[in-house]
Amino acid sequence: VGIVRKRSDDADAQSALFRACLAIPDLACARAAADAVVALDPKRQTGLLYQGLLAEAENRLGAAAAAFE
């Protein structure tokens, strides 16, 4: 996790961090990583998918559905 955080400007590293954090689950870490992916590459749909998966994990189903649209 520390190595990935040092590479906070790398969308691929943040994607890996998101997947790891969601699996633990460390939802605060996953949110930060998902938001970083969106901020680093807004055209990359992966960040929106991550935000939807996170919302689903938090049982915010309306937000999850909106993210998946």
Rounded CA separation 57/6 (Å): 26
Residue-level pLDDT, tens digit, the chain, 69 residues: 555 555 678 888 899 999 999 999 999 999 999 999 999 988 889 988 999 999 999 999 999 999 888
pLDDT at 62: 93
pLDDT at 9: 83
Question: What number of helices (H) and strands (E) belong to the chain?
Answer: 5, 0
Rounded CA separation 25/27 (Å): 6
